[in-house]
């Protein structure tokens, strides 16, 4: 259930269609100009670098906020009921001293191992990133498929960058460096986007995010918390989604007709 909640939280943030709003403030529908994509690159081409930068920053920020809000919601309202109970060594004491808050039984934290279960990421303590990652994926879906704009949005790259920043700063530094090198060398934003998202699952696997070997054995047996493979699959889905949305860009890259990035309006 928490996965659905986090996806919905992310979708609500993702629906803040920055390029559409900036375009309307400039008297146009950005989806009817340039590449007809509601994103940073097309905004930059049609309205200039200043307005494009606003779109880029806000789209990154909304994914970061979605990740943070889902993490806080999970830690505050979900983890308390389930986690602390299973981190207790004295089961009967937990049962005896459990209390009710707003109709929900809250269990005391009886072991320092309980810290492993609290959701985290770059700006949080724990490495349990699944709630935030689901929210980040929801933010990308909300950006790409906003229901109030007939499901016609952007390609979700800036949102994906926000998710990567929140996921792990080490992965962000390495993947963004790869993207920056690609942009400087080729001036293809699409190629940089593809390389950044492609590198994330490999880097996630390399760092082995969410090391279950450090978790107590009785927790490791619970599929609810054994999420390392799920996190890896979610990053693969994120990568596949971005690549699918860039399928036309991939065709143009292969044919040599892809537009190069420029700071000037066209």
Residue 264 within a domain: no
Number of domains in the chain: 1
| pLDDT band at 48; cut points 50, 70, 90 | confident
The pair of three-digit structure tokens given for residue 205, joined into one six-digit string:
């696997």
Neighbours of 182 (CB within 10 A): 19
pLDDT digits (tens, 9 = 90+) for 74-115: 888 776 665 555 444 433 444 443 443 334 444 443 333 344
Q: What pLDDT does 265 receive?
A: 58
- The answer to whether 143 and 156 have CB atoms below 8 angstroms apart is yes
User: What is the pLDDT averaged over residues 234-241?
Assistant: 93
Q: What pLDDT does 124 receive?
A: 82
* Among 35-44, 141-150, 203-212, the least confident range: 203-212
Residue 210 within a domain: yes
pLDDT digits (tens, 9 = 90+) for 215-225: 443 333 333 34
Range of the domain at 151: 2-255
Residue 265 within a domain: no
pLDDT digits (tens, 9 = 90+) for 3-34: 999 999 999 999 999 999 999 998 888 888 88
Residue 133 within a domain: yes
Residue 40 within a domain: yes
Residue 261 within a domain: no
Query: Is the pLDDT confidence value at 142 over 90?
Result: yes
The model's pTM is 0.79
Query: Is the pLDDT confidence value at 153 over 70?
Result: yes
Residue 155 within a domain: yes
- The answer to whether 220 and 226 have CB atoms below 8 angstroms apart is yes
User: What is the pLDDT averaged over residues 242-253?
Assistant: 93
The pair of three-digit structure tokens given for residue 263, joined into one six-digit string:
């700071």
Q: What pLDDT does 98 receive?
A: 40
Q: What pLDDT does 229 receive?
A: 79
Question: Which is more confidently placed, 204 or 68?
Answer: 68
Residue 266 within a domain: no
Q: What is the DSSP string of the chain?
A: -HHHHHHHHHHHHHT--HHHHHHHHTTS-GGGSTT---SHHHHHHHH-HHHHHHHHHHHHHHHHHHHHHHHHHIIIIIHHHHHHHHT-S-HHHHHHH-EEETTEEE----SGGGGGGSB-STTSSS-B-HHHHHHHHHHHHHHHS-GGGTT-----HHHHHHHHHHH-HHHHHHHHHHHHHHHHHH--HHHHHHHHHHHHHHHHHHHTSS-GGGS-HHHHT-TTT--HHHHHHHHHHHHHHHHHHTHHHHHHHHHT-PPPP-SS--
Q: What pLDDT does 79 receive?
A: 67
Q: What pLDDT does 172 receive?
A: 94
Question: Which is more confidently placed, 198 or 31?
Answer: 198
């Amino acid at each position: 259930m928490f996965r659905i909640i986090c996806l919905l939280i992310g979708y609500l943030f993702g629906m803040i269609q920055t390029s559409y709003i900036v375009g309307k403030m400039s008297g146009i529908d950005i989806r009817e100009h340039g590449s007809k994509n509601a994103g940073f690159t097309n905004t930059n081409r049609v309205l200039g670098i200043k307005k494009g930068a606003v779109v880029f920053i806000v789209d990154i920020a909304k994914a970061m906020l979605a990740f943070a809000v889902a993490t806080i919601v999970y830690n505050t309202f979900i983890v308390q009921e389930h986690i602390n109970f299973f981190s207790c060594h004295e089961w009967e004491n937990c049962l005896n001293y459990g209390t009710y808050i707003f109709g929900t039984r809250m269990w005391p934290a009886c072991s320092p191992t309980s810290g492993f279960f609290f959701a985290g990421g770059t700006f949080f303590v724990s490495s349990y990133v699944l709630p935030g990652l689901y929210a980040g994926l929801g933010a990308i879906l909300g950006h790409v498929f906003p229901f109030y704009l007939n499901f016609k949005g952007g390609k979700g790259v800036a949102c994906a960058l926000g998710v990567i920043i929140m996921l792990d700063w080490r992965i962000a530094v390495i993947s963004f460096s790869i993207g920056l090198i690609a942009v400087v060398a080729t001036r293809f934003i699409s190629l940089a986007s593809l390389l950044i998202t492609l590198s994330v699952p490999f880097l996630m696997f390399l760092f082995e995010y969410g090391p279950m070997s450090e978790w107590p054995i009785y927790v490791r047996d619970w599929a609810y918390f054994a999420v390392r493979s799920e996190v890896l699959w979610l990053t693969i889905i994120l990568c596949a989604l971005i690549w699918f949305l860039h399928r036309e860009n991939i065709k143009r890259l292969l044919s040599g007709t892809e537009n190069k990035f420029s700071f000037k309006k066209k």
